[in-house]
Protein backbone atom coordinates (compact mmCIF):
# COMPACT_ATOMS: atom_id res chain seq x y z
CA UNK A 1 0.00 0.00 0.00
CA UNK A 2 1.68 3.22 -1.05
CA UNK A 3 1.57 6.49 0.84
CA UNK A 4 -0.82 8.06 -1.64
CA UNK A 5 -3.60 5.54 -1.04
CA UNK A 6 -7.12 6.82 -0.45
CA UNK A 7 -8.01 6.90 3.22
CA UNK A 8 -11.24 5.31 4.46
CA UNK A 9 -12.78 7.40 7.24
CA UNK A 10 -14.97 5.42 9.61
CA UNK A 11 -17.24 7.32 11.99
CA UNK A 12 -18.46 5.59 15.17
CA UNK A 13 -21.56 7.61 15.92
CA UNK A 14 -22.57 6.84 19.52
CA UNK A 15 -21.18 3.53 20.83
CA UNK A 16 -21.73 2.19 24.33
CA UNK A 17 -18.76 3.60 26.24
CA UNK A 18 -19.81 7.16 27.05
CA UNK A 19 -22.90 8.01 29.06
CA UNK A 20 -25.35 10.90 28.59
CA UNK A 21 -23.92 12.92 31.49
CA UNK A 22 -20.51 13.14 29.79
CA UNK A 23 -21.64 15.27 26.85
CA UNK A 24 -24.89 16.96 25.81
CA UNK A 25 -23.92 16.28 22.19
CA UNK A 26 -23.82 12.48 22.37
CA UNK A 27 -26.65 11.19 20.12
CA UNK A 28 -29.07 9.04 22.08
CA UNK A 29 -32.43 8.87 20.30
CA UNK A 30 -32.98 7.20 16.91
CA UNK A 31 -33.58 10.63 15.40
CA UNK A 32 -30.32 12.00 16.78
CA UNK A 33 -28.33 8.94 15.71
CA UNK A 34 -29.75 9.11 12.17
CA UNK A 35 -29.15 12.85 11.87
CA UNK A 36 -25.55 12.70 13.08
CA UNK A 37 -24.76 9.60 11.00
CA UNK A 38 -26.04 11.26 7.81
CA UNK A 39 -24.10 14.45 8.58
CA UNK A 40 -20.92 12.41 9.15
CA UNK A 41 -21.37 10.68 5.80
CA UNK A 42 -21.91 14.02 4.07
CA UNK A 43 -18.73 15.27 5.75
CA UNK A 44 -16.70 12.41 4.26
CA UNK A 45 -17.14 9.24 6.33
CA UNK A 46 -17.36 6.19 4.04
CA UNK A 47 -18.20 3.82 6.91
CA UNK A 48 -20.71 4.48 9.71
CA UNK A 49 -20.29 2.28 12.77
CA UNK A 50 -23.65 2.00 14.55
CA UNK A 51 -24.92 1.17 18.03
CA UNK A 52 -28.40 1.75 19.49
CA UNK A 53 -29.47 3.34 22.76
CA UNK A 54 -32.67 3.40 24.76
CA UNK A 55 -34.15 6.81 23.89
CA UNK A 56 -35.65 7.15 27.38
CA UNK A 57 -32.40 7.18 29.33
CA UNK A 58 -29.59 6.73 26.81
CA UNK A 59 -28.36 3.34 28.00
CA UNK A 60 -26.84 1.00 25.34
CA UNK A 61 -29.38 -1.42 23.90
CA UNK A 62 -29.18 -4.44 21.55
CA UNK A 63 -32.90 -4.20 20.67
CA UNK A 64 -33.38 -4.71 16.90
CA UNK A 65 -36.52 -2.56 17.05
CA UNK A 66 -34.38 0.44 18.02
CA UNK A 67 -31.95 -0.15 15.14
CA UNK A 68 -34.91 -0.31 12.78
CA UNK A 69 -35.88 3.20 13.87
CA UNK A 70 -32.73 4.74 12.37
CA UNK A 71 -30.96 2.30 10.02
CA UNK A 72 -33.52 2.54 7.16
CA UNK A 73 -33.38 6.35 7.23
CA UNK A 74 -29.57 6.33 7.04
CA UNK A 75 -29.67 3.79 4.20
CA UNK A 76 -32.11 5.95 2.26
CA UNK A 77 -30.13 9.14 2.79
CA UNK A 78 -26.55 8.03 2.07
CA UNK A 79 -24.57 5.34 0.29
CA UNK A 80 -22.17 5.00 3.25
CA UNK A 81 -21.31 1.49 4.43
CA UNK A 82 -23.30 0.79 7.58
CA UNK A 83 -21.29 -1.30 10.04
CA UNK A 84 -23.55 -2.76 12.72
CA UNK A 85 -21.93 -3.58 16.01
CA UNK A 86 -21.71 -7.13 17.31
CA UNK A 87 -19.91 -5.61 20.30
CA UNK A 88 -22.75 -3.80 22.03
CA UNK A 89 -21.48 -3.65 25.60
CA UNK A 90 -19.96 -5.99 28.17
CA UNK A 91 -23.38 -6.22 29.85
CA UNK A 92 -24.82 -8.06 26.81
CA UNK A 93 -24.51 -11.71 25.83
CA UNK A 94 -23.21 -12.72 22.41
CA UNK A 95 -26.73 -13.76 21.42
CA UNK A 96 -28.13 -10.35 22.41
CA UNK A 97 -25.36 -8.61 20.46
CA UNK A 98 -26.18 -10.70 17.39
CA UNK A 99 -29.92 -9.98 17.45
CA UNK A 100 -29.92 -6.73 15.45
CA UNK A 101 -27.43 -7.86 12.77
CA UNK A 102 -29.50 -11.00 12.19
CA UNK A 103 -32.51 -8.79 11.44
CA UNK A 104 -30.67 -6.11 9.46
CA UNK A 105 -28.61 -8.38 7.14
CA UNK A 106 -25.65 -5.96 7.18
CA UNK A 107 -22.91 -5.69 4.57
CA UNK A 108 -20.39 -4.98 7.35
CA UNK A 109 -20.26 -5.77 11.08
CA UNK A 110 -17.72 -5.05 13.77
CA UNK A 111 -16.25 -8.09 15.54
CA UNK A 112 -14.17 -7.93 18.72
CA UNK A 113 -11.41 -10.54 18.39
CA UNK A 114 -11.27 -11.73 21.97
CA UNK A 115 -12.48 -11.78 25.54
CA UNK A 116 -10.87 -8.93 27.44
CA UNK A 117 -10.98 -6.58 30.40
CA UNK A 118 -12.70 -3.40 29.23
CA UNK A 119 -12.23 -0.87 31.99
CA UNK A 120 -14.52 2.15 31.89
CA UNK A 121 -14.67 2.70 35.66
CA UNK A 122 -12.00 5.48 35.76
CA UNK A 123 -14.57 7.70 34.00
CA UNK A 124 -16.79 7.34 37.06
CA UNK A 125 -14.19 9.08 39.22
CA UNK A 126 -14.65 12.50 37.60
CA UNK A 127 -16.98 14.78 39.53
CA UNK A 128 -20.12 15.49 37.49
CA UNK A 129 -23.89 15.62 37.81
CA UNK A 130 -25.17 12.21 36.80
CA UNK A 131 -28.46 12.42 34.92
CA UNK A 132 -29.52 8.77 35.20
CA UNK A 133 -29.21 6.17 37.93
CA UNK A 134 -27.80 3.52 35.56
CA UNK A 135 -24.65 5.43 34.57
CA UNK A 136 -22.41 4.97 37.62
CA UNK A 137 -23.25 1.26 38.13
CA UNK A 138 -22.68 0.66 34.39
CA UNK A 139 -19.20 2.16 34.56
CA UNK A 140 -18.29 0.56 37.91
CA UNK A 141 -19.37 -2.89 36.67
CA UNK A 142 -16.40 -2.87 34.29
CA UNK A 143 -14.05 -2.99 37.30
CA UNK A 144 -14.97 -6.63 38.01
CA UNK A 145 -16.56 -7.71 34.74
CA UNK A 146 -15.21 -8.35 31.27
CA UNK A 147 -16.20 -8.25 27.63
CA UNK A 148 -16.70 -11.86 26.54
CA UNK A 149 -16.03 -12.96 22.99
CA UNK A 150 -14.74 -16.51 23.21
CA UNK A 151 -13.32 -18.39 20.24
CA UNK A 152 -16.67 -20.14 19.87
CA UNK A 153 -18.50 -16.78 19.99
CA UNK A 154 -16.29 -15.46 17.20
CA UNK A 155 -16.81 -18.62 15.16
CA UNK A 156 -20.58 -18.36 15.62
CA UNK A 157 -20.67 -14.71 14.53
CA UNK A 158 -18.53 -15.10 11.40
CA UNK A 159 -20.37 -18.27 10.40
CA UNK A 160 -23.92 -17.03 11.00
CA UNK A 161 -23.53 -13.60 9.44
CA UNK A 162 -20.99 -14.54 6.80
CA UNK A 163 -22.83 -17.60 5.49
CA UNK A 164 -26.32 -16.16 5.72
CA UNK A 165 -25.79 -12.63 4.41
CA UNK A 166 -22.26 -12.50 2.99
CA UNK A 167 -21.44 -9.99 5.72
CA UNK A 168 -17.88 -8.65 5.81
CA UNK A 169 -16.23 -7.73 9.11
CA UNK A 170 -14.43 -4.86 10.79
CA UNK A 171 -12.08 -7.00 12.91
CA UNK A 172 -11.50 -5.07 16.13
CA UNK A 173 -8.06 -5.90 17.51
CA UNK A 174 -7.37 -4.41 20.94
CA UNK A 175 -4.05 -6.17 21.41
CA UNK A 176 -1.38 -8.14 19.55
CA UNK A 177 -2.94 -11.48 20.50
CA UNK A 178 -6.13 -10.51 18.67
CA UNK A 179 -4.18 -10.38 15.41
CA UNK A 180 -3.00 -13.95 15.98
CA UNK A 181 -6.59 -15.00 16.72
CA UNK A 182 -7.64 -13.48 13.42
CA UNK A 183 -4.81 -15.34 11.66
CA UNK A 184 -6.17 -18.57 13.18
CA UNK A 185 -9.61 -17.97 11.67
CA UNK A 186 -8.05 -17.03 8.34
CA UNK A 187 -6.01 -20.25 8.32
CA UNK A 188 -9.20 -22.24 8.97
CA UNK A 189 -10.91 -20.52 6.05
CA UNK A 190 -13.68 -19.05 8.23
CA UNK A 191 -12.80 -15.49 7.21
CA UNK A 192 -11.73 -14.35 3.76
CA UNK A 193 -9.35 -11.65 2.56
CA UNK A 194 -9.15 -8.77 2.11
CA UNK A 195 -9.43 -8.39 5.88
CA UNK A 196 -10.51 -5.02 7.30
CA UNK A 197 -8.54 -4.74 10.55
CA UNK A 198 -9.38 -2.04 13.08
CA UNK A 199 -6.44 -1.71 15.49
CA UNK A 200 -7.61 -0.14 18.73
CA UNK A 201 -5.45 1.81 21.18
CA UNK A 202 -6.02 3.40 24.56
CA UNK A 203 -8.74 1.22 26.12
CA UNK A 204 -7.97 0.04 29.66
CA UNK A 205 -7.44 -3.70 29.18
CA UNK A 206 -6.02 -3.37 25.68
CA UNK A 207 -2.82 -2.03 24.15
CA UNK A 208 -1.82 1.53 25.08
CA UNK A 209 -1.79 4.62 22.88
CA UNK A 210 1.98 4.97 22.39
CA UNK A 211 3.36 5.33 18.87
CA UNK A 212 5.68 2.36 19.44
CA UNK A 213 2.57 0.18 19.82
CA UNK A 214 1.20 1.53 16.55
CA UNK A 215 4.37 0.41 14.78
CA UNK A 216 4.25 -2.99 16.52
CA UNK A 217 0.63 -3.58 15.50
CA UNK A 218 1.36 -2.64 11.89
CA UNK A 219 4.48 -4.78 11.66
CA UNK A 220 2.69 -7.78 13.19
CA UNK A 221 -0.25 -7.45 10.82
CA UNK A 222 2.15 -7.20 7.86
CA UNK A 223 3.92 -10.37 8.99
CA UNK A 224 0.67 -12.32 9.48
CA UNK A 225 -1.40 -11.08 6.54
CA UNK A 226 0.99 -9.65 3.96
CA UNK A 227 -0.98 -7.58 1.46
CA UNK A 228 -4.31 -9.34 2.16
CA UNK A 229 -5.69 -6.70 4.50
CA UNK A 230 -6.73 -3.07 4.93
CA UNK A 231 -5.53 -1.49 8.17
CA UNK A 232 -7.46 1.12 10.12
CA UNK A 233 -6.75 2.73 13.49
CA UNK A 234 -9.13 3.66 16.29
CA UNK A 235 -7.41 5.61 19.05
CA UNK A 236 -9.46 6.48 22.12
CA UNK A 237 -9.76 9.91 23.67
CA UNK A 238 -6.85 12.31 23.28
CA UNK A 239 -4.99 9.81 21.09
CA UNK A 240 -7.62 9.96 18.34
CA UNK A 241 -6.25 12.49 15.86
CA UNK A 242 -2.57 11.98 16.63
CA UNK A 243 -2.46 8.22 16.09
CA UNK A 244 -5.04 8.43 13.31
CA UNK A 245 -2.80 10.82 11.39
CA UNK A 246 0.18 8.54 11.93
CA UNK A 247 -1.84 5.59 10.65
CA UNK A 248 -2.70 7.43 7.43
CA UNK A 249 0.98 8.28 6.90
CA UNK A 250 1.80 4.59 7.43
CA UNK A 251 -0.63 3.58 4.68
CA UNK A 252 -3.72 2.98 6.81
CA UNK A 253 -7.23 4.25 7.38
CA UNK A 254 -8.75 6.12 10.33
CA UNK A 255 -11.78 5.90 12.61
CA UNK A 256 -13.19 8.88 14.50
CA UNK A 257 -16.52 9.56 16.21
CA UNK A 258 -18.14 10.27 19.56
CA UNK A 259 -18.06 6.59 20.49
CA UNK A 260 -14.28 6.85 20.81
CA UNK A 261 -13.70 10.48 21.81
CA UNK A 262 -16.08 13.23 22.97
CA UNK A 263 -13.68 16.10 22.29
CA UNK A 264 -12.75 18.11 19.21
CA UNK A 265 -9.68 19.66 20.85
CA UNK A 266 -8.38 20.28 24.36
CA UNK A 267 -11.18 21.82 26.45
CA UNK A 268 -13.76 21.79 23.64
CA UNK A 269 -16.40 19.10 23.25
CA UNK A 270 -17.28 18.05 19.71
CA UNK A 271 -20.83 19.24 19.05
CA UNK A 272 -21.46 16.42 16.58
CA UNK A 273 -19.69 13.58 14.79
CA UNK A 274 -19.31 15.54 11.56
CA UNK A 275 -16.96 18.00 13.30
CA UNK A 276 -14.47 15.22 13.95
CA UNK A 277 -14.80 13.88 10.40
CA UNK A 278 -14.20 17.35 8.94
CA UNK A 279 -11.20 17.93 11.22
CA UNK A 280 -9.60 14.65 10.14
CA UNK A 281 -10.40 15.40 6.51
CA UNK A 282 -8.63 18.78 6.79
CA UNK A 283 -5.56 17.14 8.32
CA UNK A 284 -5.46 14.52 5.57
CA UNK A 285 -5.84 17.19 2.88
CA UNK A 286 -2.89 19.10 4.33
CA UNK A 287 -0.85 15.91 3.96
CA UNK A 288 -2.06 15.44 0.35
CA UNK A 289 -4.20 12.40 1.09
CA UNK A 290 -7.53 11.83 -0.64
CA UNK A 291 -10.52 10.45 1.24
CA UNK A 292 -12.15 7.28 -0.14
CA UNK A 293 -15.77 7.38 -1.23
CA UNK A 294 -18.15 4.71 0.00
CA UNK A 295 -17.93 2.97 -3.39
CA UNK A 296 -14.13 2.96 -3.22
CA UNK A 297 -14.21 1.71 0.35
CA UNK A 298 -16.43 -1.21 -0.68
CA UNK A 299 -13.85 -2.31 -3.22
CA UNK A 300 -11.01 -2.04 -0.69
CA UNK A 301 -12.91 -3.96 2.01
CA UNK A 302 -14.21 -6.59 -0.41
CA UNK A 303 -17.92 -5.78 -0.20
CA UNK A 304 -19.41 -6.96 -3.49
CA UNK A 305 -23.06 -5.93 -3.14
CA UNK A 306 -24.43 -3.14 -0.94
DSSP symbols for the chain: --TTPPBPEEEE-S-SSS-GGG-TTS--SHHHHHHHHHHHHHHT-SEEEE-EE-TTT--EE--HHHHTTTHHHHHHH---EEEE-S---TTS-HHHHHHHHHHH--SEEEEE-S-B--B-GGGGGS----SSTTHHHHHHGGGT--B---HHHHHHHHHHHHHHH--EEEEEESSHHHHHHHHHHHHTTSS-SSEEEEEEES-BTB--S-HHHHHHHHHHHHHHHTTSEEEEEEE-GGGHHHHHHHHHHTT-EEEESTTT--EEETTEE-SSHHHHHHHHHHHHHHTTPPBPPHHHHHHHHT----
Count CB atoms within 10 A of the CB of residue 301: 25
Q: Model confidence over 29-53: pLDDT tens digits?
A: 999 999 999 999 999 999 999 999 9
Entry pTM: 0.96
Is the per-residue pLDDT at 113 higher than 50? Answer: yes
**Model confidence over 48-81: pLDDT tens digits?**
999 999 999 999 999 999 999 999 999 999 999 9
Fold held by 9-301: TIM Barrel (3.20.20)
Determine the average pLDDT of the residues in 82-102.
Answer: 95
**Domain limits, the chain:** 9-301
Q: How far apart are CA 272 and CA 276, in angstroms?
A: 8
**What distance in Å separates the CA atoms of residue 142 and residue 120, rounded to the nearest whole number?**
6
140-164 residue pLDDT tens: 999 999 999 999 999 999 999 999 9
If you write DSSP's letter for every residue of 167-182 in order, what string do you get? -EEEEEESSHHHHHHH
Residues 252-276 have a mean pLDDT of 98
Amino acid sequence: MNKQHKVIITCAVTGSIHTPSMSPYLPLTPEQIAEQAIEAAEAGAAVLHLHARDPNDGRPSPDPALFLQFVPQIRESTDAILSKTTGGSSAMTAEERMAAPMVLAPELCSLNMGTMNFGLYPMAEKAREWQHDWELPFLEATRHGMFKNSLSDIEMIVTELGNRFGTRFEFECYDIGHLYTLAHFLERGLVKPPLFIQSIFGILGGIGGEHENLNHMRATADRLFGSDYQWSVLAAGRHQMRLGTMAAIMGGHVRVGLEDNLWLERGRLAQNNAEQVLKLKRILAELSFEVATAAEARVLIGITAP
